[in-house]
């Protein structure tokens, strides 16, 4: 178990046998399948509400999600609607720097299709990168976006 690394690198799932070795001596199960040897947890966020392609009533719309940056902790989450200016979201109380942190904000929106994006900044001032990357080899990246309709 290694704090700050994704579970495929450091978490025990099922134990059927045990072999003691050093980190660099023998490639692990996931390394042999194309994943990175080290997989540090990146500063990330996601949008949980509204769900993608959902329909919400006109008026005040709550946008919410979670963010993480273990073991550094989250200092800020910003949200923007339809490519507009970034706004600070309200953060939940931090339990400790290694836990996920919920966030939320509200927008007054007219009827129509809308796209919301978010990005997180950790306690060291590192902001989630806009550059998209697939999960393999060492975790996805990019600013999440969700499209939904106000009816």
Minimum mean pLDDT range among 2-11, 23-32, 111-120, 132-141: 2-11
The contacts of residue 33 (CB under 8 Å, 6+ apart) are none
Q: What is the pTM of this model?
A: 0.83
User: In this predicted model, what pLDDT tens digit does every residue of 43-93 receive, in sequence order?
Assistant: 999 999 999 999 999 999 999 999 999 999 999 999 999 999 999 999 999
User: In this predicted model, what pLDDT tens digit does every residue of 14-32 receive, in sequence order?
Assistant: 677 778 888 778 888 888 8
Q: Looking at the chain, how many residues does it have?
A: 151
Angle at 68 between CA 120 and CA 98, to 5 degrees: 140
- Residue 5's pLDDT is 74
Residue entry with tokens 């059927």: 16
Mean pLDDT of the chain: 91
86 strand-pairing partners = none
Domains, the chain, with CATH or none: 1-40 (no CATH), 44-150 (2.60.40.650)
What is the spatial distance between Cα 50 and Cα 77, in angstroms, rounded to a whole number? 17
């Amino acid at each position: 178990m290694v704090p700050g690394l994704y579970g495929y690198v450091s978490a025990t799932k099922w134990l059927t046998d045990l072999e003691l070795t050093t980190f660099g001596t023998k490639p692990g199960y996931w390394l042999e399948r194309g994943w990175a040897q080290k997989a540090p947890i990146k500063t990330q966020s996601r949008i949980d509400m509204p769900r993608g392609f959902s329909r919400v009533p006109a008026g005040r719309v709550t946008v919410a999600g979670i963010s993480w940056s273990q073991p550094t902790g989250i200092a800020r989450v910003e949200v923007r609607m339809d490519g507009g200016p970034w706004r600070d979201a309200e953060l939940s109380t931090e339990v400790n720097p290694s836990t996920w942190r919920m966030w939320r904000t509200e927008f007054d929106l007219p009827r129509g299709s809308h796209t919301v994006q978010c990005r997180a900044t950790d306690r060291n001032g590192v902001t989630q990168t806009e550059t998209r990357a697939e999960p393999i080899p060492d975790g996805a990246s990019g600013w999440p976006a969700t499209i939904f309709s106000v009816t």
